[in-house]
C-alpha cells in the first residue's frame, strides 16, 4: 500500500508530509478509478513551504560575521519578514493542505474501515474540516523556554546558541554555533542572560562541547535551558560533561558559575534559580543524573487559566504562555466534558489538562513517563484545591493504558463516557495503544494536541481509521479526524498548535 511505504520515510515538517502524500496520491489517482466518494485532488499547493524553507536554509560554509544573525533568523523564524496577517494565511494554507491530503490518504487505502466510507458519503464537504487559525495574543518576545547549546562561533570563539551544520562535512567539518540575540521570539531577559553566559564561557579556562551528539575528551560545558514566567522569574539549568573530573573539580565549576552570576557582572540577570547537572549521555533524565540546585528557589510558578502551577527543572511547559491558554480553553470546549465524563490525559506533564478538567469531570487519569512531572502534577493539584478525582500514573502509556481501561470498566461499567486527550508534543501513539483505545466502546472522542506533523503522527490517524487486519482480531470501530482547530503558538515560524478532534464512527 502506498501509505505504508510513505510512512516508512523520514518526514519532519508539514510541508514534507504534504509533498510526499501528494506525490503518492498522484500516482494512485493515475492508476485507480475515482468515484464520487473521493473528491477531486488539489493540483497545486497554495503555499510551497518545502521549497520556501529550502531556499532559506543556511549552511555553515555560508556564514560570515556580517550575515550570521540574518541566516539564523531564516532558519529558526522563516516567516519573520512577512506581515503577521501573511503568516497566518500561510499557516492556514499549510494545515488545510496537510489534512486534506490526510483525508484522501485514509479514503484511498484499501484497508479503510467501511464505517468511515459510510460516514464520509453522508457528509457535506471535507470530513477533515480545518477551522480558521486563531492568532497568538503575543507575536514577539514570547518564548518562555529556550534550549541553547555551547559551541564555536564564526569567529572561532566559544559561545552559546544554535548549531548550523555544514553542507558537506568532508570539505567543511565544523558545525558552527550562532548566538540568538537578534531573534524576534526571544524574551529580553533570556537575551541578557545569554549575553552574560557567552562572556562567562569566553573567560572560563575549561573548553566546551563542540557538538551535543559527539563528545570528545576534555570538553565540559554543554548546554543551558532557560525557563521564565510572566513575572520574569528566571530558572537556568546548566548541563556539563563530567569527563574524568573529581568531585572537587566539579564543585569548582559550580563555584565559578555562582561567582559570575551571583557575585559578578552576571548578577544583573537577576536569576532566581540555578540548577547544575552532569550528563555524559546525549540526554539525561533527573532519575539518571539529578539536577542539583546550587542557587535560589527550588521552583518558579506560572498562572495558566487562573490556576497556579509550579515549574521544576524537568517540567515541560509551552513556549508561548498566552497562546497556551487558548489551547487549554479550546481543549476543554471541544472535549465536551461533563459530570459523567472520564478523562484520559495521556502525556499529562505538570498536569494542566488534568487540573482544569478535574472541576468538571467525574474522574481523571493522568499518565506521564517522567517522575518529576508526576510529582509536579500532584503538587499542583493540591495547590489549586482540586477534587480528589485525579489518579496520577507514572510510566509509559503503552504499558499502563490497558490496565487503566480495565479498571475503568470494572469501576464505572462498559457504558462510561471517556474522552482521551493525547499531547503529541510529548510522544505519539503506538499501534498497540491505538488498538487498546479502539477496543473500548466508551471512548467516543480523542483530542490530539500537536505542533508537529511527522510521519509517526500521520500514521496514528491512519491506524485510528483503518479496518481490521484480521477477522480473528476485533479492534473496535474506527476514529476519524473530523475537525481541526489551529492556534498560532509559534509566530514567525511555519508551525502552529493543532487540536485534532477524532470521533468514533
What are the binding residues for S-adenosyl-L-methionine?
368, 423
Q: How far apart are CA 112 and CA 467, in angstroms?
A: 5
Residue 448 grid coordinates: 490530539
Sign for the pseudo-dihedral over CA of 405, 425, 389, 395: positive
H helices of 32-83, where? 49-56, 68-76
Q: How far apart are CA 105 and CA 108, in angstroms?
A: 5
| Closest among 298, 69, 340, 35 to 178, alpha carbons compared | 69
Helix (H, G, I), strand (E, B) or coil at 500: strand
Sign for the pseudo-dihedral over CA of 49, 54, 55, 59: positive
> For residues 232 and 207, is the Cβ–Cβ distance under 8 A?
no
Q: How far apart are CA 126 and CA 427, in angstroms?
A: 28
Q: Got the DSSP string for 181-210?
A: TT-TTB-HHHHHHHHHHHHHHHH-SS-B-S
Helix (H, G, I), strand (E, B) or coil at 179: coil
**Neighbouring residues of 345: CB distance < 8 A, sequence distance ≥ 6:** 351, 353, 354, 357, 364, 365, 366, 367, 421, 423
In the annotated binding site, the residues are: 368, 423
Residue 15 grid coordinates: 510541508
Amino acid at each position: 500500500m502506498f501509505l505504508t511505504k510513505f510512512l516508512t520515510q523520514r518526514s519532519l515538517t508539514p510541508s514534507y508530509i504534504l509533498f510526499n502524500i501528494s506525490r503518492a496520491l498522484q500516482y494512485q489517482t493515475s492508476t485507480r478509478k475515482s468515484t464520487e466518494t473521493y473528491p477531486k485532488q488539489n493540483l497545486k499547493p497554495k503555499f510551497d513551504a518545502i521549497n520556501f524553507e529550502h531556499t532559506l536554509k543556511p549552511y555553515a560554509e555560508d556564514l560570515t560575521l556580517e550575515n550570521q544573525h540574518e541566516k539564523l533568523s531564516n532558519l529558526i523564524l522563516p516567516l519573520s519578514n512577512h506581515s503577521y496577517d501573511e503568516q497566518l494565511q500561510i499557516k492556514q494554507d499549510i494545515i488545510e493542505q496537510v489534512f486534506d491530503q490526510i483525508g484522501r490518504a485514509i479514503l484511498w487505502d484499501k484497508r479503510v474501515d467501511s464505517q468511515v466510507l459510510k460516514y464520509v458519503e453522508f457528509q457535506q464537504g471535507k470530513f477533515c474540516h480545518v477551522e480558521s487559525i486563531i492568532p497568538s495574543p503575543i507575536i514577539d518576545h514570547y518564548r518562555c523556554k529556550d534550549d541553547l547549546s555551547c559551541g564555536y562561533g564564526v569567529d572561532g570563539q566559544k559561545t552559546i546558541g544554535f548549531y548550523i551544520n555544514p553542507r558537506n562535512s568532508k570539505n567543511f567539518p565544523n558545525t558552527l554555533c550562532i548566538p540568538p540575540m537578534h531573534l524576534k521570539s526571544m524574551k529580553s531577559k533570556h537575551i541578557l542572560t545569554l549575553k552574560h553566559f557567552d562572556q562567562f564561557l569566553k573567560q572560563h579556562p575549561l573548553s566546551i562541547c563542540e557538538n551535543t551528539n559527539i563528545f570528545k575528551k576534555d570538553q565540559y560545558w554543554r548546554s543551558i535551558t532557560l525557563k521564565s514566567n510572566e513575572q520574569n522569574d528566571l530558572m537556568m539549568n546548566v548541563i556539563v560533561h563530567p569527563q574524568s573530573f573529581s568531585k572537587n573539580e566539579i564543585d569548582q565549576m559550580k563555584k565559578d558559575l555562582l561567582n559570575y552570576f551571583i557575585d559578578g557582572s552576571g548578577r544583573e540577570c537577576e536569576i532566581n534559580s540555578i540548577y547544575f547537572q552532569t550528563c555524559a549521555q546525549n540526554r539525561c533524565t533527573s532519575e539518571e543524573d539529578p539536577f542539583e540546585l546550587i542557587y535560589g528557589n527550588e521552583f518558579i510558578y506560572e498562572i495558566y487559566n487562573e490556576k497556579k502551577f509550579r515549574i521544576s527543572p524537568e517540567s515541560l511547559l509551552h513556549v508561548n504562555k498566552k497562546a497556551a491558554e487558548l489551547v487549554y480553553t479550546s481543549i476543554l470546549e471541544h472535549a465536551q466534558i461533563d459530570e459523567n465524563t472520564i478523562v484520559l490525559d495521556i502525556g499529562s506533564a505538570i498536569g494542566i489538562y488534568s487540573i482544569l478538567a478535574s472541576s468538571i469531570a467525574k474522574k481523571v487519569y493522568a499518565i506521564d513517563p517522567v517522575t518529576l512531572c508526576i510529582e509536579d502534577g500532584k503538587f499542583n493539584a493540591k495547590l489549586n484545591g482540586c477534587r480528589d478525582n485525579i489518579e496520577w500514573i507514572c510510566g509509559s502509556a503503552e504499558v499502563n493504558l490497558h490496565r487503566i481501561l480495565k479498571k475503568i470498566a470494572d469501576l464505572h461499567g462498559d457504558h462510561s463516557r471517556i474522552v482521551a486527550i493525547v499531547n503529541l508534543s510529548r510522544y505519539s501513539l503506538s499501534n498497540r495503544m491505538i488498538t487498546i483505545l479502539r477496543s473500548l466502546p466508551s471512548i467516543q472522542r480523542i483530542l490530539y494536541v500537536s505542533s508537529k506533523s511527522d510521519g509517526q503522527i500521520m500514521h496514528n490517524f491512519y491506524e485510528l481509521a483503518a479496518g481490521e487486519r484480521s477477522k480473528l482480531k476485533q479492534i473496535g470501530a474506527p476514529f476519524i479526524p473530523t475537525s481541526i482547530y489551529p492556534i498560532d503558538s509559534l509566530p514567525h515560524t511555519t508551525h502552529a498548535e493543532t487540536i485534532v478532534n477524532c470521533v468514533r464512527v
